Amino acid sequence: MRTSILFYILLQVFQPAIAHSQEFKINGSIDQMEGKKVFIAQILGRDRVRDSAVVNNGKFIFKGTIPGPIMLTLSFRDPQNREYKELSLFIEPSEMHMVIQVNNLRAFTLEGSKSHLVQEKYSSIMYAHCQYYIDELNKIRKDLEINPDNQDIKRRLIYIDSSKSVNCGGIRNVTKNFILDNPNTGVSSFLVNLYSTIWETDTVLKYYNGLSVEMQNAYYGILTRNHLLKSVTVGMKAPEFSKRDVNNTLINLADYKGKKYVLLDFWASWCIPCISELPELKEFYKSHKSQVEILGLSMDEDVSDWKNSIRMHNIPWRQIQIGIEPELKTDRNYLGNLYTGVSSIPRQFLINPEGIIVGIFLSAPMDIKKLVGLIK
């Protein structure tokens, strides 16, 4: 129940805050783009805000308002191969100066944004951590641009990309250390918010609290705060729901109260880690179905894919299709939002017979030993 007490304190301490809009201006120069357009895009809440500027005498200007230090992307269509190129920038409410070389994007400069300097520092740390894989991926992608139908190159790309995922697993620790070492930067605030739907709630809370008060009250800090305030966590009452299963039979979570534990299993037919967990999870269910009911909550959009997967893998527990996340992130009829915006799967919630969440599992393979230990 410790986490519940923490969240009660959070609810008492957090006061509504608004990130006030402030003016920014980017004075840019770019070669080879005379008369062409460059674009910027910002993600603000649920909205993707776009703007464009025409290059005149090698110059372009963007100006407007932003709610403090914020990440945006700048893109343009390469005049030589017509493909879009994109840069990530961390801008501030200030006047900034930017220089871009179309054929050497990594050499671009942005002056007037301290946050961007911090972002470059973070990027260099990440690059050094996985330099071999990043370099290899860049080389392979260039080869693939020349030979787009070459299957050997495509297989090499998949192999290196998966190797990067495994061997760069320590990146999350690098990110966490960076946040703690740079508590008063918009970049750290952005990173905490970026990982808020992936890390456990206690972890998000730890690194949110590690930010300076100024960054907690900046734009990304407010987004993280709002996420924390509605987070489902161990010790809290499980949000109830009524949904029809694959056989069109109504399932009420409340019907299991006082009778059984319930394991909510968020999955999808296209989720390889979800499928790989099934054999061990089926063994668990076979041994504990007198104590535990499993409810599969599929994020499949295609009904046929969902039903075929249930049949193919012979999944014995009840299944509900919740589909893809709706545009309205606050739609409480969507189970992924009801259980704090489930955006990464597999994810499981164990609910005891009193209706309290006693365990949350965020990664594959699922810790079956921990799951068994939580059932009394």
CB count, 10 Å around CB of 286? 9
Q: Which two tokens stand for residue 84?
A: 């879009």
Instruction: Quote the pLDDT of residue 187.
Output: 94
State the pLDDT at residue 335.
67
pLDDT band at 263 (very low <50, low <70, confident <90, very high): very high
pLDDT band at 328 (very low <50, low <70, confident <90, very high): very low
Amino acid identity of residue 24, one-letter, is: F
Whether the Cβ atoms of residue 42 and residue 66 lie closer than 8 Å to each other: yes
> Cβ-count burial of 97 within 10 angstroms (0-12 exposed, 13-18 middle, 19+ buried)?
middle
Cα–Cα distance measured from residue 227 to residue 46, given in angstroms and rounded to the nearest whole number: 13
The arithmetic mean of pLDDT across residues 219-240, rounded, is 84
Give the model confidence (pLDDT) of 241-251 as tens digits. Answer: 888 999 999 99
Convert the pLDDT of each residue in 296-305 to its tens digit: 999 888 899 9
Mean pLDDT of 143-167: 78
CA distances (Å), origin 178, targets 60, 172, 191, 205: 34, 10, 9, 16
Res. 343 pLDDT band, cuts 50 70 90: low
Q: What band does 8 get if pLDDT is binned at 50, 70 and 90?
A: very low
From 3-7, 96-100, 262-266, 303-307, the region with the lowest mean pLDDT = 3-7
- Overall average pLDDT of the 338-358 stretch: 83
pLDDT of residue 11: 38
- Strand segments, DSSP code E, in the chain are 22-30, 37-44, 47-54, 59-66, 70-77, 84-91, 95-100, 109-111, 242-244, 250-252, 261-267, 292-298, 318-321, 347-351, 357-361
The amino acid that residue 78 corresponds to is D
Please name the amino acid found at residue 167. Answer: N
pLDDT at 333: 54
What is the CB-side half-sphere exposure of residue 243 using CA atoms within 13 A? 22
Phi first, then psi, for residue 99 (nearest 5°) are -130, 130
Asked if residue 29 lies in contact with residue 99, where contact means CB atoms within 8 angstroms, the answer is: yes
The pLDDT confidence band at residue 334, using thresholds 50, 70 and 90, is low
- Among candidate residues 317, 308, 215, the one with its CA nearest the CA of residue 263: 317
Q: What is the pLDDT of residue 1?
A: 37
Dihedral angle, C-alpha 24, 29, 33, 35, nearest 10 °: 60
| DSSP notation for 134-190 | HHHHHHHHHHHHHSTT-HHHHHHHHHHHHHHHHHTTTHHHHHHHHHHH-TTSHHHHH
> Please, what sign has the CA dihedral across residues 330, 332, 334, 339?
positive
pLDDT at residue 10, rounded to an integer: 41
Most confident of 37-46, 190-199, 351-360: 351-360
pLDDT at 234: 84
Q: What's the distance, CA 57 to chain centroid?
A: 40
Instruction: Give the model's pLDDT for residue 152.
Output: 85
- Domains annotated on the chain, with CATH: 22-111 (2.60.40.180), 131-167 (no CATH), 242-373 (3.40.30.10)
How is the chain split among helix, strand and coil, in percent rounded to 5? Answer: 40, 25, 35
Lowest-pLDDT range of 165-169, 208-212, 326-330, 335-339: 326-330
pLDDT tens track for 83-129: 889 998 999 999 999 999 998 888 899 999 999 999 999 988 877 77
Q: What is the pLDDT of residues 165-216, one digit of tens each?
A: 655 656 678 889 999 999 999 999 999 998 887 787 778 889 999 999 999 9
| Residue 262 three-state SS | strand
Lowest-confidence region among 28-42, 229-243, 325-339: 325-339
Q: pTM of this prediction? A: 0.62
| pLDDT averaged over every residue in the chain | 84
d(CA 319, CA 301): 14
Residue 2 has pLDDT above 50, yes or no: no
User: What per-residue confidence (pLDDT) applies to 111?
Assistant: 95
247-257 mean pLDDT: 92
φ, ψ dihedrals at 86, nearest 5°: -140, 140
Spatial separation of the C-alpha atoms in residues 376 and 373, rounded to whole Å:
7
State the Cα–Cα distance between residues 197 and 342, nearest whole angstrom: 7
- For helices 186-194 and 171-181, what crossing angle results, to 10°? 140
